[in-house]
């Protein structure tokens, strides 16, 4: 086991390169199950989740390797296996993204039910309902989802759920629809940049998808998809995390590669707090006023404020001059970081899906335990500004979604080290 040891109080200054988006790379990797010939993906981050997807795809007959320049090469060599086993799905929820491609290309998919996680239950009923609408037969056996279809037929599918549209369900059904016969219309589809990136990849392979980036996506089925070269979109959640890192340390950082158009809701909230955000030639420049204003924020599907930056914003608001409120409408149980931030001197109380944050003058270093990926990032941010030393345990969570985060932060002045327990 490893932990991060952070000595707080250093003002961050310099440039950080933003990596490719994990949440775009994983479904695009899964989509290569649909493709004939070789696919070459650029800007794929080197993360624990990406490595797990490589293992899963290898089990499903895909040859995967990275060249000396970091590009990932993928080619399907064996289509016999269509079973994503519990051993892998339990380690990475995005494994369910192979369901649609396997069904469309191999006429069957057997995928272990992913179950819940630290941020709450995340059911896959929308995935199954969408694939059933395309003509799949579904059954549940021994904890596995079994889907079969000799032929998928285009249709109209509604993908709205209790907390809005589902990104992974949109990805799964959209991928399956590329090889369905006829036209498929996805209503209440997710609009996230990662869905746009997946659609652009599929279109480069020969798919006919329009409307991506809106709640209504149309897919005209084609007979086959062929390999292509594609560059993965920059990670807006990593960029947002480093925006807040610059703000919380009263720093001055440039986020190279970050796209302002993907971060409008985040930029709006941060500017109201007192963060200075400017579009630069190579990305986004961030600096901060010394006095932070309290704000209210509500997480929503894109283009609203992302749930994946809720914990990080909460950390910043711990130091605002007044009371702030954050309401979580995507995953109402996503507040496990509250107790750990309070251990560092924060004053946060939870009332249902809302956290009320009373600003304090300072945070104090302490040993803390990460509960999930984004909570890990929040605790690292707290450590950057806390007085004294903070030890963040269970860093395997952060390795799932941030590429060499300690190296990137150290490169702009943070005092942070990865150490063995």
Return the active site residues: 117
CB 192 within 8 A of CB 328: no
- Residue position matching structure tokens 């190579």: 282
CB 17 within 8 A of CB 45: no
Cβ partners under 8 Å of residue 31, min gap 6 = 101, 175, 198, 201, 202, 205
Residue whose entry in the numeric block shows the structure tokens 């209790």: 162
Q: What is the dihedral of CA 137, 139, 144, 147, to 10 degrees?
A: 0
11 within 8 A of 251, measured Cβ to Cβ: yes
> Which helix or strand (DSSP H or E) is residue 217 part of?
strand 216-220
Which DSSP state fits 11?
Answer: P
Burial class (CB in 10 A: 0-12, 13-18, 19+), 68: exposed
Q: What does DSSP assign to residue 307?
A: G
Give every CB contact of residue 261 below 8 A, 6+ residues apart in sequence. none
Contact 399, 7 (CB under 8 A): no
Query: In 269-320, which ranges are E strands?
Result: 275-279, 283-288, 296-298
Strand boundaries in 33-143, DSSP class E: 35-36, 38-42, 62-66, 72-76, 83-84, 108-112, 137-141
Q: Do residues 174 and 189 make contact, with C-beta atoms less than 8 angstroms apart?
A: yes
280 CB contacts (<8 Å, ≥6 apart)? 254
Q: Give the DSSP letter string of 17-30.
A: EPPBPHHHHHHHHH
Question: How many other C-beta atoms are found inside a 10 Å radius of the C-beta of residue 312?
Answer: 29
């Amino acid at each position: 086991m490893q932990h991060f040891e952070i000595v707080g109080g250093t003002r961050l200054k310099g440039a950080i390169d933003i990596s490719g988006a994990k949440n775009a790379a994983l479904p695009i990797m899964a989509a290569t199950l649909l493709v004939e010939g070789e696919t070459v993906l650029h800007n794929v981050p080197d993360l624990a989740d990406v490595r797990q997807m490589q293992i899963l795809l290898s089990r499903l007959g895909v040859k995967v390797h990275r060249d000396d320049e970091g590009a990932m090469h993928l080619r399907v060599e064996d289509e016999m296996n269509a079973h994503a086993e519990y051993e892998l799905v339990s380690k990475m929820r995005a494994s369910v993204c192979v369901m649609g491609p396997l069904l469309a290309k191999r006429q069957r998919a057997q995928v272990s039910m992913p179950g819940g996680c630290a941020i709450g239950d995340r059911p896959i009923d929308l995935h199954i309902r969408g694939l059933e609408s395309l003509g799949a037969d579904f059954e549940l056996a021994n904890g596995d989802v079994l889907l079969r279809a000799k032929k998928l037929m285009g249709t109209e599918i509604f993908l709205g759920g209790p907390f809005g549209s589902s990104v992974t369900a949109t990805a799964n059904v959209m991928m399956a629809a590329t090889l369905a016969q006829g036209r498929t219309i996805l209503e209440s589809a997710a609009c996230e940049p990662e869905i746009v990136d997946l659609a652009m990849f599929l279109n480069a392979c020969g798919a006919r998808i329009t409307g991506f980036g809106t709640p209504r996506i149309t897919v005209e089925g084609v007979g086959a998809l062929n390999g292509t070269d594609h560059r993965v979109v920059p990670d807006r959640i990593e960029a947002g995390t480093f925006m807040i890192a610059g703000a919380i340390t009263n720093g001055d950082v440039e986020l190279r590669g970050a796209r302002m158009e993907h971060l409008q809701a985040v930029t709006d909230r941060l500017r109201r707090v007192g963060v200075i955000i400017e579009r630069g030639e190579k990305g986004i420049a961030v600096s901060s006023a010394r006095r932070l204003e309290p704000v209210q924020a509500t997480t929503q599907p894109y283009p609203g404020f992302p749930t994946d930056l809720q914990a990080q914003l909460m950390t910043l608001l711990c130091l605002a001059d007044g009371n702030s409120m954050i309401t979580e409408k995507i995953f109402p149980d996503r507040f496990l970081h509250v107790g750990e931030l309070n251990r560092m001197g924060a004053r946060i109380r939870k009332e249902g899906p809302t956290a009320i944050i009373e600003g304090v003058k300072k945070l104090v270093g302490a040993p803390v335990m990460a509960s999930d990926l984004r909570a890990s990032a929040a605790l690292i941010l707290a450590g950057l500004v806390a007085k004294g030393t903070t030890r963040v345990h269970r860093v395997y969570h952060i390795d799932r979604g941030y590429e060499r985060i300690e190296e990137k932060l150290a490169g702009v002045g943070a005092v942070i080290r990865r150490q063995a327990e």
